[in-house]
């Protein structure tokens, strides 16, 4: 059973997730490669990048992804 979560900063969250998807493609990385770098499974990256679905994830993962993509978080 899945429970919907209300996000106060949903728009900001979605912008960051779109940036993650865009940047890993610009860097020539697949979701699989990004997941391997972050030591998470590809489905976790996929769920983070899912369009229109805001799923919470740890800031640690967010910062690690930013580091992997050489961008400031």
pLDDT digits (tens, 9 = 90+) for 50-71: 866 666 677 778 888 888 888 7
pTM, two decimal places:
0.65
Which band of pLDDT confidence, cut at 50, 70 and 90, is reported for residue 1?
Answer: very low
Q: What is the pLDDT of residue 28?
A: 92
pLDDT digits (tens, 9 = 90+) for 10-32: 777 778 888 888 888 898 999 99
Task: Please give the Cα distance from 47 to 53 (Å, whole number).
Answer: 8
pLDDT digits (tens, 9 = 90+) for 35-55: 888 888 888 888 888 866 666
Task: Tell the CATH topology of 10-68.
Answer: 434 Repressor (Amino-terminal Domain) (1.10.260)
Delimit the domains of the chain by residue range: 10-68
Written as six digits, the tokens of 52 are 């229109």
Q: Which residues of 53-66 are buried (b: 16+ CB within 10 A; e: fewer)?
A: ebeeeeeeebebbb
């Amino acid at each position: 059973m899945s429970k919907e979560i209300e996000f106060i900063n949903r728009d900001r969250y979605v912008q960051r997730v779109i940036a993650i998807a865009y940047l890993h493609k610009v860097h020539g990385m697949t979701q699989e490669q990004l997941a391997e770098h972050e030591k998470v499974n590809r489905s976790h990256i996929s769920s983070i990048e899912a369009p229109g679905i805001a799923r919470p994830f740890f800031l640690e993962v967010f910062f690690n992804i930013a580091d992997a993509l050489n961008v400031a978080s």
